[in-house]
Every structure is written in structure tokens, then in C-alpha cells.
Amino acid sequence: MKTAEKINDLVYKGSENSTNPSPSSFDRYSSVEFSISNLQYIYQFKIRENSSSGIGVYIKEDSVVLKHLRVGDILEMKYYPVTLSEQAEYLKTEIKYISKERQGRFRGHYLVNLSII
């Protein structure tokens, strides 16, 4: 099975059932950072708001980290605040769904929808 096919198998089609965090989550955090236990790097992504999907990050389709993320995974993520005077927070976060962007600015990326637990 090709990598793209494996990733496509992970895409959750029922995004309408996802829970969206409160709008204050969008205003409060600018980026999120996390690591995967069997990968040597720490990954940091800008948080994106999407009214239909809540809070999420875009990851390039050829990124190694994408192969290690699954819908339902719960990760300890470090959220960086918009305001530099505030400290970053570690929050348990669930991956609600992963969907491929087929057009627009983020074509060639996957939107990974996050839900702070």
C-alpha cells in the first residue's frame, strides 16, 4: 500500500460530528508543539481557525509526522499563547479528524483537527 493510500485510510469522514473548542481557544493560542515518541524531532505548527472545523493545524502531505498521527490519538501538546507575556501550557489534545485539502491555499496539506480535552 502506498503512503498516500495509508494516509487516506486515516481520514475521518464524519467531521460533522466533531466538537469544536470555544472561540476563546482560537484567540488565546498562536501555535502548538508536540513530539511523537518514535520520532526524534519536535514539531510546531501555527494554529488555524476554521469555522467549519474548529481549531487545527495544516501539515504537508509528505511530512513524516503525518504518518504517525491517527484519529482518536491523545497527545500532550504545548500551546503557545498569542500574548508573549503569558507562558505556554501543556494540554491533553485529541485528534478529531484528518482531511486532505484538495484546493486553495493549503492544497497538498492535511488539516488535522484538534480538540483540547
20-66 confidence digits (pLDDT tens)? 444 445 578 999 999 998 888 999 999 987 656 678 999 999 999 99
Dihedral sign for Cα 20, 25, 31, 37, please. negative
Which of residues 58 and 8 earns the better pLDDT score?
Answer: 58
Residue type, 43: Y
CA 76 distance to own-chain centroid: 12
Report field, pTM of the whole predicted structure over 0.85: no
Q: Are 75 and 84 contacting, i.e. CB atoms less than 8 angstroms apart? A: no
Which one is the CATH code of 3-116: 1.10.3470, 2.40.128, 3.30.470, 2.40.10?
2.40.10
Is the pLDDT assigned to residue 100 strictly greater than 90? Answer: yes
